[in-house]
Amino acid sequence: MDKSTDTAKVSTAEATPIIPLPQAAARGITVAGSALALIGTFLAWTWTREFPGNLTVTGYPGGLQVLTLVGSALTLLFALSGYGIKGLGWLTPGGKNSPVLLAALGVFGTTGYAIGAISQELGGLVNLEPGAWVSGIGALVALIGALGLPVDQPYGAGEPTPNLWGRIRHSLTAPDPGRAKELPSWAEILIIAGGFGVGLYVFAYGIGTEYSELFIGFLIVAAFGFTAITRAGLLKRLSALTAKHRNVTLGAAFAAAICFPFTQTNDQFALIGANILIFATVALGLNVVVGLAGLLDLGYVAFLGVGAYAAALVSGSPASTIGVEFPFWAAVLTGAAASLIFGVVIGAPTLRLRGDYLAIVTLGFGEIFRITMNNLNGNSGPDVTNGSNGIPQIPDLEIFGFNLGVPHDVLGHELTRSANYYLLMLVFTAIVVMVFRRSAESRIGRAWVAIREDETAATAMGINGFRLKLLAFALGASLAGLAGTVQSHVSYSVTPEQYQFAGSVPPNSAFLLAAVILGGMGTISGPLIGAALLYLIPAKLQFMAEYQLLLFGIALMLLMRFRPEGLVADRRKQLEFHETGQLDVPEDKPLPEGATGVAKAGA
């Protein structure tokens, strides 16, 4: 009796908030602070237009003010949902307080960054107008109130009372929102379409940010907002609907992707979208090798280079030493076939190795490919690739009389060259997604997973490990070569320096592997999201190029510490990297009749 009482006391103490406030008062302070921060966005934040975004207008938010407004509105809605207001309860099916804290942190971080950026660029806090102070104080008050709210679920007995960092870490734990109310099929489909519509708008807004300060603020709001929505349980509810309507989900995803170029008026942003798709498609091909078969390939970018060089040599470039011009479909098949052959040639003698030894061999292959392309210049070797000069002046593709290098008017909107290649690459991405999905769900895909988990056990069960690993290697190489054929035409040229193990500009082997790990190995959407983030952030923050690899390493360490399964993880990875929540059998509990001591020890 005393022991259970002590346990209850510990759980109650550990549910105590960081700032001791009555729950009603803490929620009221959060609501007031977020409302104050929202009101401040309609006031001027600075007196001069020298700071980008024109924050001098009263009554019309712009630039960083819009981000604070969105974050404050989200915090306000989450905080009001805790009052049991009819119509707002669906916002937090998994937890009432943790989403409030995460959203408040996002508002405080964005507003604080905006105030610091204005002060640093214009020369001091004196350049701030009252609106900035109102939003800043409101964001601080909202955060204080959120810290006064108790945690949604008490910590386990025996754990220390959580500090601020522990409270935030607990808030990041994805909850179980429970079973949702059954809705008509048409309503569920509308929810899926709305979710992808919101995702398209957020993605288009992020790419369309025109200056680095706005993009950094966008990253802060998007990161904390996405985590808050996840912690609220909304993302799991949406995931359940997408799993129920899988075909509708795929259709909605590609419909949203098709709409992207119609939301862009700057050709440079459409080019970023096309390159993101190239990077994401290659990462998804690598996911076959690493995510499904468990083969650590550190030279995968070489297969992208093989496809790009093969397509460049047969696409009619004046610098091509072959002097032939294949139609588009033949050039694509040539690039994919060349990468497939190289995958088999490299994989056959090396895939009997495991672990670190295989990684070293594949890393060597990547460097050998780059050096070989550099030496085929007519001096060090045969004149095939023009050495370090590469193959320039690759002509634009023409498909069924449709020249992708010329702008076209579609539905009253002008599709630029970059938008044309974006749509073409979207078709290739759809093909790769279909191949990956069908492969993962097939008997071969299950055999790959068995090899990844324990190759010795898989071999004992009758699986031919070498043959299936070679098949995964060849399939992944051909998918990379498929993307390489489009990359060579998008960039107009191919050079050996584009295909390194690590560099300042993706795609390279290190960034491709990081995209798979960051997004979530073995999933479809994970590598796509990881590749989009790893390409978009360096493209928008070019002033940080000198510190890119340093920041990249720090991000990977933080990811491995707090989210080792990736941003989008399958159930197997979640069970592998996190506790299942099952209780241990108490040592003083008597054994049931017929049980043995061995059974108790195993329990």
What are the helix (H) ranges across 172-287? 185-208, 212-232, 234-244, 246-259, 267-287
- Same domain as 291, residue 171: no
Residues pairing with 128 in the sheet: 46
- For residue 161, is it within any domain? yes
- Same domain as 121, residue 201: yes
User: What integer pLDDT is reported at residue 72 of this predicted model?
Assistant: 94
Distance CA 82, CA 19 (A): 18
- Same domain as 278, residue 228: no
Name the domain count of the chain. Answer: 2
- Same domain as 373, residue 496: yes
- Same domain as 226, residue 276: no
- Same domain as 561, residue 478: yes
Distance CA 467, CA 223 (A): 42
- Same domain as 276, residue 157: no
User: What integer pLDDT is reported at residue 513 of this predicted model?
Assistant: 85
Residue 278 amino acid letter: I
- Same domain as 276, residue 372: yes
- Same domain as 364, residue 497: yes
User: What integer pLDDT is reported at residue 497 of this predicted model?
Assistant: 83
Q: Determine contact, residues 284/527, Cβ cutoff 8 Å.
A: yes
**How is 281-346 classified by DSSP, letter by letter?**
HHHHHHHIIIIIS----S-THHHHHHHHHHHHHTBT-TT-SS--B--HHHHHHHHHHHHHHHHHHH
Residue 359 amino acid letter: A
- Same domain as 234, residue 287: no
- For residue 162, is it within any domain? yes
In this prediction the pTM is 0.79
User: What integer pLDDT is reported at residue 597 of this predicted model?
Assistant: 41
User: What integer pLDDT is reported at residue 559 of this predicted model?
Assistant: 75
559: Cβ contacts below 8 Å, ≥ 6 apart: 517, 518, 566
Distance CA 366, CA 480 (A): 13
- For residue 395, is it within any domain? no
Tally of helices (H runs) and strands (E runs) in the chain: 23, 4
User: What integer pLDDT is reported at residue 179 of this predicted model?
Assistant: 66
Q: Which residues of the chain have pLDDT under 50?
A: 1-14, 154-161, 580-603
- Residue 408 is inside which H or E element, if any? strand 408-410
φ/ψ (deg, to 5) at 576: -75, -40
- For residue 515, is it within any domain? yes
Distance CA 344, CA 349 (A): 9
Residue where a domain terminates, one of 193, 223, 239: 239
The domain spanning residue 512 has which CATH number? 1.10.3470
- For residue 455, is it within any domain? yes
- For residue 106, is it within any domain? yes
The DSSP call for residue 185 is H
For the chain, report the end-to-end CA distance as a whole number of angstroms: 24
- Same domain as 165, residue 44: yes
Residue where a domain terminates, one of 192, 219, 239: 239
- Where in the sequence is the domain holding 371, given as residue range(s)? 267-387+411-577
- For residue 205, is it within any domain? yes
- For residue 127, is it within any domain? yes
Task: For the chain, give the percent of residues with pLDDT over 70.
Answer: 84
- Same domain as 116, residue 195: yes
